[in-house]
Amino acid sequence: MTHAWRSEGAILVGGAAAACGLGWLEGRTTQFLLVFLLAYLARHLYYCVHLLAWLRGHTNELPDGNGIWSEIFHHHRLLKRRHRRRKRRLAKILKRFQQATSALPDATVVLTREFSIEWFNKAAARLLGLGKRDTGLRIDNLIRSPQFVEYLEKRRFNRPLTLAAPRNERIRLEIRIVSYASDRYLLVARDITQLHLLERQRRDFVAHVSHELRTPLTVLKGYLETLTDSPDAVAEAYHPMLMHMDEQILRLQYLVDDLLYLSRLETTQEHPGKHRPVDIAALVQDICKEAAHVQARHARIEVEVMPGAKLLGNEQELRSAFTNLVVNAIKYTPETGKIEVRWQADASGGRFEVSDSGKGIPAEHLPRITERFYRVPGSDNANPTGTGLGLAIVKHVLNRHDGRLEIQSQAGRGSTFRCHFPRKRVVS
Ligand code: ADP
Protein backbone atom coordinates (compact mmCIF):
# COMPACT_ATOMS: atom_id res chain seq x y z
CA MET A 1 0.00 0.00 0.00
CA THR A 2 1.40 3.42 -0.90
CA HIS A 3 1.90 6.28 1.48
CA ALA A 4 -1.09 8.15 -0.07
CA TRP A 5 -3.46 5.25 0.57
CA ARG A 6 -2.16 4.81 4.09
CA SER A 7 -2.71 8.51 4.77
CA GLU A 8 -6.22 8.36 3.21
CA GLY A 9 -6.99 5.30 5.37
CA ALA A 10 -5.79 7.18 8.45
CA ILE A 11 -8.08 10.14 7.65
CA LEU A 12 -11.09 7.84 7.15
CA VAL A 13 -10.49 5.48 10.07
CA GLY A 14 -9.13 8.16 12.42
CA GLY A 15 -11.99 10.55 11.59
CA ALA A 16 -14.64 7.82 12.00
CA ALA A 17 -13.10 6.71 15.35
CA ALA A 18 -12.97 10.30 16.63
CA ALA A 19 -16.63 10.87 15.56
CA CYS A 20 -17.68 7.63 17.29
CA GLY A 21 -15.74 8.59 20.49
CA LEU A 22 -17.21 12.08 20.65
CA GLY A 23 -20.69 10.73 19.79
CA TRP A 24 -20.38 8.11 22.53
CA LEU A 25 -19.49 10.82 25.06
CA GLU A 26 -22.44 12.95 23.92
CA GLY A 27 -24.72 9.89 23.54
CA ARG A 28 -25.20 10.61 19.76
CA THR A 29 -22.86 8.23 18.02
CA THR A 30 -24.89 7.86 14.79
CA GLN A 31 -25.32 11.60 14.30
CA PHE A 32 -21.60 12.28 14.90
CA LEU A 33 -20.65 9.49 12.47
CA LEU A 34 -23.06 10.89 9.87
CA VAL A 35 -21.65 14.40 10.25
CA PHE A 36 -18.13 13.01 9.79
CA LEU A 37 -19.13 11.09 6.62
CA LEU A 38 -20.77 14.22 5.20
CA ALA A 39 -17.60 16.22 5.93
CA TYR A 40 -15.51 13.43 4.33
CA LEU A 41 -17.71 13.51 1.19
CA ALA A 42 -17.59 17.33 1.08
CA ARG A 43 -13.76 17.16 1.13
CA HIS A 44 -13.78 14.83 -1.92
CA LEU A 45 -16.25 17.10 -3.73
CA TYR A 46 -14.11 20.14 -2.96
CA TYR A 47 -11.01 18.55 -4.48
CA CYS A 48 -13.04 17.23 -7.47
CA VAL A 49 -14.25 20.77 -8.21
CA HIS A 50 -10.63 22.05 -8.08
CA LEU A 51 -9.37 19.26 -10.28
CA LEU A 52 -12.12 19.85 -12.86
CA ALA A 53 -11.45 23.61 -12.90
CA TRP A 54 -7.74 22.91 -13.38
CA LEU A 55 -8.35 20.34 -16.15
CA ARG A 56 -10.64 22.81 -17.93
CA GLY A 57 -7.93 25.44 -17.70
CA HIS A 58 -9.96 27.78 -15.45
CA THR A 59 -7.20 27.84 -12.87
CA ASN A 60 -3.45 27.30 -12.99
CA GLU A 61 -3.02 26.26 -9.41
CA LEU A 62 -3.94 22.98 -7.74
CA PRO A 63 -4.27 22.85 -3.93
CA ASP A 64 -1.74 20.68 -2.11
CA GLY A 65 -4.52 18.35 -0.96
CA ASN A 66 -4.19 15.62 1.57
CA GLY A 67 -4.61 11.86 1.69
CA ILE A 68 -5.02 10.31 -1.70
CA TRP A 69 -5.63 13.76 -3.23
CA SER A 70 -2.10 14.95 -2.53
CA GLU A 71 -0.84 12.06 -4.71
CA ILE A 72 -3.48 12.68 -7.44
CA PHE A 73 -2.56 16.40 -7.60
CA HIS A 74 1.14 15.63 -7.54
CA HIS A 75 0.82 13.29 -10.57
CA HIS A 76 -1.30 15.77 -12.47
CA ARG A 77 1.29 18.48 -11.91
CA LEU A 78 4.02 16.13 -13.15
CA LEU A 79 1.96 15.24 -16.24
CA LYS A 80 1.36 18.89 -17.03
CA ARG A 81 5.06 19.71 -16.67
CA ARG A 82 6.01 16.82 -18.97
CA HIS A 83 3.36 17.86 -21.50
CA ARG A 84 4.66 21.47 -21.44
CA ARG A 85 8.24 20.28 -22.00
CA ARG A 86 7.18 18.09 -24.93
CA LYS A 87 5.18 20.94 -26.44
CA ARG A 88 8.19 23.26 -26.17
CA ARG A 89 10.40 20.63 -27.81
CA LEU A 90 7.91 20.09 -30.67
CA ALA A 91 7.53 23.84 -31.18
CA LYS A 92 11.32 24.11 -31.40
CA ILE A 93 11.48 21.28 -33.98
CA LEU A 94 8.66 22.87 -35.97
CA LYS A 95 10.40 26.25 -35.88
CA ARG A 96 13.68 24.72 -37.01
CA PHE A 97 11.87 22.85 -39.82
CA GLN A 98 10.14 26.04 -40.95
CA GLN A 99 13.44 27.91 -40.84
CA ALA A 100 15.06 25.17 -42.93
CA THR A 101 12.27 25.14 -45.54
CA SER A 102 12.24 28.94 -45.55
CA ALA A 103 15.96 28.92 -46.32
CA LEU A 104 15.50 26.45 -49.22
CA PRO A 105 16.35 28.05 -52.57
CA ASP A 106 13.41 26.17 -54.12
CA ALA A 107 9.88 27.51 -53.77
CA THR A 108 7.92 25.24 -51.40
CA VAL A 109 4.15 25.50 -50.96
CA VAL A 110 1.93 23.31 -48.79
CA LEU A 111 -1.46 22.79 -50.46
CA THR A 112 -4.67 21.25 -49.18
CA ARG A 113 -6.59 18.54 -51.08
CA GLU A 114 -8.46 21.35 -52.88
CA PHE A 115 -5.14 23.00 -53.85
CA SER A 116 -5.61 25.94 -51.47
CA ILE A 117 -2.40 27.47 -50.14
CA GLU A 118 -1.71 26.60 -46.51
CA TRP A 119 1.93 27.64 -46.11
CA PHE A 120 4.81 28.78 -48.33
CA ASN A 121 8.45 29.77 -47.93
CA LYS A 122 10.35 32.92 -48.93
CA ALA A 123 11.47 31.46 -52.25
CA ALA A 124 7.81 30.83 -53.14
CA ALA A 125 7.07 34.49 -52.46
CA ARG A 126 9.95 35.47 -54.75
CA LEU A 127 9.55 32.91 -57.57
CA LEU A 128 5.76 32.50 -57.60
CA GLY A 129 4.86 35.98 -56.40
CA LEU A 130 2.87 34.72 -53.39
CA GLY A 131 1.98 37.07 -50.53
CA LYS A 132 0.53 36.62 -47.03
CA ARG A 133 -2.94 37.58 -48.31
CA ASP A 134 -2.84 34.58 -50.70
CA THR A 135 -2.98 32.01 -47.88
CA GLY A 136 -6.25 30.11 -48.23
CA LEU A 137 -6.62 30.91 -51.96
CA ARG A 138 -6.44 28.22 -54.64
CA ILE A 139 -2.99 28.09 -56.26
CA ASP A 140 -4.47 28.08 -59.80
CA ASN A 141 -6.04 31.48 -59.06
CA LEU A 142 -2.50 32.81 -58.74
CA ILE A 143 -0.61 30.71 -61.31
CA ARG A 144 -3.01 31.02 -64.21
CA SER A 145 -0.97 29.40 -66.99
CA PRO A 146 -3.28 26.96 -68.90
CA GLN A 147 -0.55 24.28 -68.73
CA PHE A 148 -0.47 24.54 -64.95
CA VAL A 149 -4.27 24.49 -64.65
CA GLU A 150 -4.37 21.34 -66.84
CA TYR A 151 -1.52 19.80 -64.80
CA LEU A 152 -3.57 20.24 -61.62
CA GLU A 153 -6.80 19.03 -63.18
CA LYS A 154 -5.29 15.84 -64.59
CA ARG A 155 -3.17 15.22 -61.49
CA ARG A 156 -0.37 13.71 -63.55
CA PHE A 157 2.21 14.50 -60.92
CA ASN A 158 4.61 11.72 -61.88
CA ARG A 159 6.22 14.14 -64.37
CA PRO A 160 7.50 17.63 -63.61
CA LEU A 161 6.06 20.63 -65.43
CA THR A 162 8.23 23.36 -66.93
CA LEU A 163 6.80 26.83 -67.23
CA ALA A 164 7.64 30.55 -67.08
CA ALA A 165 7.46 32.20 -63.65
CA PRO A 166 4.10 34.01 -63.18
CA ARG A 167 5.76 37.40 -62.54
CA ASN A 168 8.83 37.12 -64.77
CA GLU A 169 8.65 35.44 -68.18
CA ARG A 170 12.44 35.14 -68.28
CA ILE A 171 12.58 32.79 -65.30
CA ARG A 172 11.88 29.13 -66.15
CA LEU A 173 10.53 26.97 -63.37
CA GLU A 174 10.36 23.23 -62.99
CA ILE A 175 7.31 22.41 -60.89
CA ARG A 176 6.82 19.16 -59.03
CA ILE A 177 3.84 18.23 -56.86
CA VAL A 178 3.87 15.34 -54.40
CA SER A 179 1.02 14.14 -52.26
CA TYR A 180 1.69 13.48 -48.58
CA ALA A 181 -0.15 12.83 -45.32
CA SER A 182 -3.24 11.62 -47.28
CA ASP A 183 -4.75 15.12 -47.55
CA ARG A 184 -1.91 17.48 -48.42
CA TYR A 185 0.22 18.31 -51.45
CA LEU A 186 3.71 19.75 -51.50
CA LEU A 187 4.51 21.94 -54.49
CA VAL A 188 8.20 22.49 -55.19
CA ALA A 189 9.29 24.93 -57.91
CA ARG A 190 12.95 25.02 -58.97
CA ASP A 191 14.56 27.83 -60.93
CA ILE A 192 16.01 26.12 -64.03
CA THR A 193 16.64 29.28 -66.08
CA GLN A 194 20.39 28.58 -66.40
CA LEU A 195 19.81 24.96 -67.35
CA HIS A 196 17.18 26.01 -69.85
CA LEU A 197 19.56 28.55 -71.40
CA LEU A 198 22.34 25.96 -71.66
CA GLU A 199 19.92 23.48 -73.25
CA ARG A 200 18.84 26.12 -75.75
CA GLN A 201 22.44 26.99 -76.54
CA ARG A 202 23.17 23.30 -77.13
CA ARG A 203 20.18 22.98 -79.46
CA ASP A 204 21.07 26.15 -81.33
CA PHE A 205 24.67 24.97 -81.67
CA VAL A 206 23.63 21.62 -83.15
CA ALA A 207 21.15 23.33 -85.47
CA HIS A 208 23.77 25.87 -86.65
CA VAL A 209 26.50 23.30 -87.18
CA SER A 210 24.12 21.04 -89.11
CA HIS A 211 22.96 23.96 -91.19
CA GLU A 212 26.52 25.11 -91.93
CA LEU A 213 27.52 21.57 -92.96
CA ARG A 214 24.80 21.38 -95.57
CA THR A 215 26.39 23.63 -98.21
CA PRO A 216 29.89 22.08 -98.23
CA LEU A 217 28.31 18.63 -98.34
CA THR A 218 26.18 19.56 -101.36
CA VAL A 219 29.29 20.89 -103.14
CA LEU A 220 31.27 17.72 -102.36
CA LYS A 221 28.38 15.53 -103.47
CA GLY A 222 28.12 17.51 -106.74
CA TYR A 223 31.84 17.08 -107.56
CA LEU A 224 31.69 13.41 -106.65
CA GLU A 225 28.69 12.88 -108.92
CA THR A 226 30.53 14.54 -111.79
CA LEU A 227 33.43 12.16 -111.25
CA THR A 228 31.29 9.04 -110.96
CA ASP A 229 29.19 10.06 -113.98
CA SER A 230 32.33 10.18 -116.16
CA PRO A 231 34.23 7.02 -115.23
CA ASP A 232 36.91 7.62 -117.85
CA ALA A 233 38.05 10.76 -116.05
CA VAL A 234 39.30 8.69 -113.09
CA ALA A 235 41.57 5.65 -113.15
CA GLU A 236 39.63 2.44 -112.52
CA ALA A 237 41.64 1.67 -109.39
CA TYR A 238 39.98 4.69 -107.74
CA HIS A 239 36.39 3.66 -108.56
CA PRO A 240 35.81 1.68 -105.29
CA MET A 241 37.14 4.68 -103.33
CA LEU A 242 34.73 7.01 -105.13
CA MET A 243 31.84 4.65 -104.33
CA HIS A 244 32.86 4.55 -100.68
CA MET A 245 33.14 8.35 -100.59
CA ASP A 246 29.71 8.64 -102.16
CA GLU A 247 28.22 6.33 -99.52
CA GLN A 248 29.84 8.26 -96.66
CA ILE A 249 28.74 11.63 -98.05
CA LEU A 250 25.20 10.28 -98.32
CA ARG A 251 25.44 9.14 -94.70
CA LEU A 252 26.66 12.58 -93.64
CA GLN A 253 23.78 14.17 -95.52
CA TYR A 254 21.27 11.90 -93.73
CA LEU A 255 22.96 12.73 -90.43
CA VAL A 256 22.71 16.47 -91.03
CA ASP A 257 19.08 16.15 -92.18
CA ASP A 258 18.13 14.04 -89.13
CA LEU A 259 19.94 16.40 -86.74
CA LEU A 260 18.20 19.40 -88.25
CA TYR A 261 14.85 17.65 -88.09
CA LEU A 262 15.39 16.68 -84.44
CA SER A 263 16.40 20.20 -83.43
CA ARG A 264 13.34 21.55 -85.27
CA LEU A 265 11.15 19.13 -83.30
CA GLU A 266 12.84 20.27 -80.09
CA THR A 267 12.62 23.98 -80.75
CA THR A 268 9.15 24.36 -82.25
CA GLN A 269 6.43 24.02 -79.67
CA GLU A 270 3.45 23.29 -81.84
CA HIS A 271 0.18 24.13 -80.25
CA PRO A 272 -2.04 20.98 -80.12
CA GLY A 273 -4.85 23.16 -81.46
CA LYS A 274 -3.05 23.15 -84.80
CA HIS A 275 -3.27 19.36 -85.10
CA ARG A 276 -5.66 18.08 -87.81
CA PRO A 277 -7.28 14.66 -88.34
CA VAL A 278 -4.77 12.63 -90.40
CA ASP A 279 -5.99 9.75 -92.58
CA ILE A 280 -3.53 7.16 -91.27
CA ALA A 281 -4.80 4.38 -93.58
CA ALA A 282 -3.93 6.43 -96.69
CA LEU A 283 -0.70 7.68 -95.12
CA VAL A 284 0.48 4.15 -94.29
CA GLN A 285 -0.31 2.87 -97.83
CA ASP A 286 1.65 5.79 -99.22
CA ILE A 287 4.63 5.26 -96.92
CA CYS A 288 4.83 1.53 -97.72
CA LYS A 289 4.73 2.21 -101.46
CA GLU A 290 7.54 4.76 -101.21
CA ALA A 291 9.61 2.74 -98.74
CA ALA A 292 9.57 -0.26 -101.09
CA HIS A 293 11.82 1.77 -103.44
CA VAL A 294 14.45 2.28 -100.73
CA GLN A 295 15.99 -1.08 -101.47
CA ALA A 296 15.64 -2.86 -104.82
CA ARG A 297 15.32 -6.31 -103.23
CA HIS A 298 13.48 -6.39 -99.96
CA ALA A 299 11.29 -8.62 -97.81
CA ARG A 300 7.58 -9.06 -98.59
CA ILE A 301 5.55 -6.21 -97.10
CA GLU A 302 1.98 -6.88 -95.93
CA VAL A 303 -0.19 -3.89 -95.07
CA GLU A 304 -3.31 -4.18 -92.92
CA VAL A 305 -5.01 -0.89 -92.15
CA MET A 306 -8.35 -0.04 -90.63
CA PRO A 307 -10.01 2.54 -92.85
CA GLY A 308 -12.08 5.36 -91.38
CA ALA A 309 -10.31 6.10 -88.13
CA LYS A 310 -8.16 9.23 -88.28
CA LEU A 311 -5.53 10.47 -85.88
CA LEU A 312 -5.36 14.02 -84.59
CA GLY A 313 -1.82 15.17 -85.32
CA ASN A 314 0.77 16.70 -87.60
CA GLU A 315 0.86 14.72 -90.86
CA GLN A 316 4.48 15.61 -91.70
CA GLU A 317 5.75 14.47 -88.31
CA LEU A 318 3.71 11.25 -88.33
CA ARG A 319 4.90 10.48 -91.87
CA SER A 320 8.51 10.92 -90.78
CA ALA A 321 8.14 8.69 -87.68
CA PHE A 322 6.25 5.88 -89.47
CA THR A 323 8.63 6.02 -92.46
CA ASN A 324 11.59 5.57 -90.10
CA LEU A 325 10.02 2.41 -88.66
CA VAL A 326 9.09 0.93 -92.05
CA VAL A 327 12.49 1.74 -93.60
CA ASN A 328 14.27 0.21 -90.59
CA ALA A 329 12.22 -2.98 -91.01
CA ILE A 330 13.22 -3.10 -94.70
CA LYS A 331 16.91 -2.46 -93.92
CA TYR A 332 17.20 -4.95 -91.09
CA THR A 333 15.17 -7.82 -92.65
CA PRO A 334 16.58 -10.17 -95.29
CA GLU A 335 14.67 -10.37 -98.58
CA THR A 336 13.43 -13.86 -97.66
CA GLY A 337 11.69 -12.42 -94.58
CA LYS A 338 8.33 -10.78 -94.01
CA ILE A 339 7.26 -7.33 -92.85
CA GLU A 340 3.76 -6.57 -91.52
CA VAL A 341 2.50 -3.01 -91.18
CA ARG A 342 -0.75 -2.45 -89.24
CA TRP A 343 -2.95 0.43 -88.17
CA GLN A 344 -5.82 -0.24 -85.77
CA ALA A 345 -8.06 2.02 -83.74
CA ASP A 346 -10.62 1.08 -81.09
CA ALA A 347 -11.99 2.26 -77.75
CA SER A 348 -8.55 1.99 -76.14
CA GLY A 349 -6.88 4.28 -78.72
CA GLY A 350 -4.86 3.96 -81.94
CA ARG A 351 -1.96 1.61 -82.67
CA PHE A 352 0.52 1.74 -85.53
CA GLU A 353 2.67 -1.37 -85.67
CA VAL A 354 5.59 -2.60 -87.79
CA SER A 355 6.63 -6.25 -87.31
CA ASP A 356 9.48 -7.92 -89.12
CA SER A 357 11.16 -11.31 -89.14
CA GLY A 358 14.61 -9.71 -89.43
CA LYS A 359 17.78 -9.79 -87.36
CA GLY A 360 16.10 -8.48 -84.19
CA ILE A 361 17.78 -6.59 -81.37
CA PRO A 362 19.64 -8.39 -78.53
CA ALA A 363 17.95 -7.75 -75.16
CA GLU A 364 20.93 -5.85 -73.69
CA HIS A 365 20.61 -3.12 -76.34
CA LEU A 366 16.83 -2.60 -76.03
CA PRO A 367 16.90 -0.12 -73.10
CA ARG A 368 19.21 2.27 -75.03
CA ILE A 369 17.94 1.77 -78.56
CA THR A 370 15.99 5.07 -78.74
CA GLU A 371 18.97 7.17 -77.53
CA ARG A 372 20.52 9.50 -80.08
CA PHE A 373 23.31 7.90 -82.12
CA TYR A 374 22.85 4.54 -80.41
CA ARG A 375 23.25 1.69 -82.88
CA VAL A 376 23.55 -2.02 -82.26
CA PRO A 377 27.15 -2.99 -83.13
CA GLY A 378 27.24 -4.49 -86.61
CA SER A 379 24.26 -2.44 -87.88
CA ASP A 380 26.56 -0.87 -90.48
CA ASN A 381 26.45 -4.05 -92.58
CA ALA A 382 22.67 -3.94 -92.98
CA ASN A 383 22.35 -0.15 -93.08
CA PRO A 384 25.63 1.58 -94.01
CA THR A 385 23.98 4.99 -94.26
CA GLY A 386 22.22 4.67 -90.86
CA THR A 387 22.57 7.57 -88.44
CA GLY A 388 21.27 6.18 -85.14
CA LEU A 389 18.82 9.09 -84.99
CA GLY A 390 15.74 7.46 -86.56
CA LEU A 391 14.26 5.99 -83.38
CA ALA A 392 15.06 9.17 -81.42
CA ILE A 393 12.95 11.05 -83.99
CA VAL A 394 10.15 8.46 -83.65
CA LYS A 395 10.14 8.86 -79.87
CA HIS A 396 10.11 12.63 -80.09
CA VAL A 397 7.23 12.70 -82.58
CA LEU A 398 5.23 10.28 -80.40
CA ASN A 399 5.83 12.50 -77.34
CA ARG A 400 4.42 15.42 -79.29
CA HIS A 401 1.32 13.31 -80.00
CA ASP A 402 0.84 12.02 -76.41
CA GLY A 403 1.94 8.64 -77.74
CA ARG A 404 4.35 5.98 -76.55
CA LEU A 405 6.70 3.56 -78.31
CA GLU A 406 6.72 -0.12 -77.36
CA ILE A 407 9.50 -2.33 -78.70
CA GLN A 408 9.49 -6.12 -78.63
CA SER A 409 12.45 -7.85 -80.17
CA GLN A 410 14.46 -11.02 -80.04
CA ALA A 411 17.86 -11.44 -81.63
CA GLY A 412 17.54 -13.54 -84.77
CA ARG A 413 13.71 -13.69 -84.58
CA GLY A 414 12.56 -10.22 -85.55
CA SER A 415 11.11 -7.12 -83.98
CA THR A 416 7.81 -5.33 -83.41
CA PHE A 417 7.70 -1.56 -83.03
CA ARG A 418 4.29 -0.43 -81.75
CA CYS A 419 3.19 3.22 -81.48
CA HIS A 420 0.32 3.72 -79.01
CA PHE A 421 -1.87 6.81 -79.25
CA PRO A 422 -4.45 7.77 -76.63
CA ARG A 423 -8.17 7.55 -77.34
CA LYS A 424 -8.62 11.33 -77.34
CA ARG A 425 -6.42 11.50 -80.47
CA VAL A 426 -8.55 9.07 -82.50
CA VAL A 427 -11.26 10.68 -84.65
CA SER A 428 -13.90 8.41 -86.19
P1 ADP B 1 19.68 3.69 -87.80
O2 ADP B 1 19.81 4.85 -88.70
O3 ADP B 1 20.99 3.15 -87.34
O4 ADP B 1 18.74 2.65 -88.29
P5 ADP B 1 17.71 4.07 -85.73
O6 ADP B 1 17.64 5.04 -84.62
O7 ADP B 1 16.59 4.03 -86.68
O8 ADP B 1 19.08 4.33 -86.46
O9 ADP B 1 17.88 2.64 -85.10
C10 ADP B 1 18.83 2.46 -84.07
C11 ADP B 1 19.35 1.04 -84.07
O12 ADP B 1 18.28 0.15 -83.75
C13 ADP B 1 19.81 0.59 -85.45
O14 ADP B 1 21.15 0.91 -85.65
C15 ADP B 1 19.62 -0.91 -85.37
O16 ADP B 1 20.71 -1.50 -84.75
C17 ADP B 1 18.42 -1.07 -84.44
N18 ADP B 1 17.13 -1.30 -85.16
C19 ADP B 1 16.20 -0.39 -85.48
N20 ADP B 1 15.16 -0.98 -86.12
C21 ADP B 1 15.46 -2.29 -86.21
C22 ADP B 1 14.79 -3.44 -86.76
N23 ADP B 1 13.59 -3.34 -87.35
N24 ADP B 1 15.40 -4.62 -86.67
C25 ADP B 1 16.60 -4.74 -86.04
N26 ADP B 1 17.29 -3.71 -85.51
C27 ADP B 1 16.73 -2.50 -85.60
What secondary structure does DSSP assign to 51-82, as a single string? HHHHHTTS-S------THHHHHHHHHHHHHHH
Q: Report residues whose beta carbon is within 6 angstroms of any ligand 1 atom.
A: 324, 328-329, 332, 356, 358-361, 369, 375-376, 379, 383, 386-391, 415
Query: By alpha-carbon position, which residue is closest to atom 11 of ligand 1?
Result: 375
Whether pTM > 0.85 for this model: the answer is no
Whole-angstrom distance, CA of residue 298 vs CA of residue 337: 8
Q: For residue 393, which atom of ligand 1 is closest to its CA?
A: 6
Query: By alpha-carbon position, which residue is closest to atom 4 of ligand 1?
Result: 386
Tell which one of 259, 361, 368 to mutate to probe ligand 1, the residue whose CB is within 8 A of the most ligand atoms: 361
Q: 161 has which bridge partners?
A: 175
The pLDDT score that the predictor gives to residue 330 is: 95
The pLDDT score that the predictor gives to residue 231 is: 81
Domain extents for the chain? 2-95, 104-191, 196-267, 273-427
Whole-angstrom distance, CA of residue 166 vs CA of residue 142: 8
The pLDDT score that the predictor gives to residue 340 is: 97
The pLDDT score that the predictor gives to residue 271 is: 64
Whole-angstrom distance, CA of residue 289 vs CA of residue 311: 20
The pLDDT score that the predictor gives to residue 234 is: 86
CATH number of 273-427: 3.30.565.10
Whole-angstrom distance, CA of residue 265 vs CA of residue 66: 86
**What are the residue ranges in the chain where pLDDT is below 70?**
1, 270-273
As assigned by CATH, the class of the 104-191 domain is: alpha beta
Q: For residue 417, which atom of ligand 1 is closest to its CA?
A: 23
The pLDDT score that the predictor gives to residue 348 is: 92
Q: For residue 389, which atom of ligand 1 is closest to its CA?
A: 6
CATH number of 196-267: 1.10.287.130
Whole-angstrom distance, CA of residue 90 vs CA of residue 82: 12
Q: Please answer whether residues 320 and 291 qualify as being in contact, where contact means their C-beta atoms are separated by less than 8 angstroms.
A: no
The pLDDT score that the predictor gives to residue 297 is: 86
User: Are β-strands 107-112 and 184-191 bridged in parallel, bridged antiparallel, or unpaired?
Assistant: antiparallel
